[in-house]
Amino acid sequence: MLIEQCLPAFDVTEVCEKDVDASAAETYGAIRVADLRCPVVNAPVALRQIPLRIGRARRRESPASPVRPVLPGTIAGGGFHWTRLAEEPDVEVVLGAVGRFWQHDHDGRPITREEFVPFQEPGYAKVALSLSLRPSPSGRTIIRYEARTATTDAAAERTFRRYWRLIHEDVHACMEGALERIKAEAERHVLTVS
């Protein structure tokens, strides 16, 4: 899997899978158009950023420019700077971000694909998200969503693990929701083509 090349060692991981009644190509197409943003995460992130926005307005700073999604519908904003780390069409796409995700603004660091793997600046975490496809025994497609997080030092690991205990269930729910939307989009495509 491409995620192995991007983040082979990690502190925490979360994996969800779903069977999709569509081909790998149709399911991969659905990944590219389905809305993967998570209301459970986006609403609290927006609320946490209100004090930052008020402070910027008081200082008469221009608002932060929105983060452009790496894939249409992919989670964007909230201090994350997503980079496409690897892709094999109809098989797997891996996105990555670096930041202090436990902070209000996530302190996201723009990073290139080449900088992601060796990045080790103390006090940060790296997250890699993989959406991969494989055939199921029933002739359908299994879509797998994996999120891996690695911290860059012991202090960041302790802080992140406390944060992870708080958000773990929400992350799982967001991943399940994203897979449901991809599945629905892929299967809707199959029905409209048939």
- Sorted by where each begins, the domain ranges of the chain are 2-193
What are the tens digits of pLDDT across the range 164-190?
A: 999 899 889 989 999 999 999 999 977
**pLDDT confidence bin for 193, thresholds 50/70/90:** low
pTM: 0.80
pLDDT value at position 86?
94
Rg (CA), the chain: 17
Which CATH number is associated with domain 2-193? 3.30.530.20
C-alpha span between 40 and 175 (Å, rounded): 11
Q: What is the largest distance, in Å, between two alpha-carbon atoms of the chain?
A: 59
Tokens 């899978």 — which residue? 17
pLDDT tens across 80-108, in order? 788 899 999 999 999 999 999 898 777 88
